[in-house]
Amino acid sequence: MNAEILKRLGSCADDSRMLQTAIREYIATLGIDPTGEYVSVLEYLYTVKRHPSADDIFLALDGHLPELTRTKVHTILEILSKLGAVKVIQIDKYNTLYDGDTTPHGHFICSKCGEVLNVAISGNISSVIDLPAGAALEEVQLLCIGECRNCRDRNIN
Task: Report the distance separating Cα 109 and Cα 123, nearest Å.
Answer: 21
Phi, psi (degrees; rounded to nearest 5) at 37: -65, -45
pLDDT at 11 over 90: no
What is the per-residue pLDDT across 12-25, written as a single tens digit (0 to 9) for each? 666 778 888 888 98
Write out the DSSP string of 74-104.
HHHHHHHHHTTSSEEEE-SSS-EEEES--SS
Helix (H) or strand (E) holding 143: strand 143-146
Note whether 89 and 107 are within 8 A (CB): yes
pTM for this model (two decimals): 0.83
User: pLDDT by residue (tens digit) across 40-74?
Assistant: 999 999 888 889 999 999 999 988 888 899 999 99
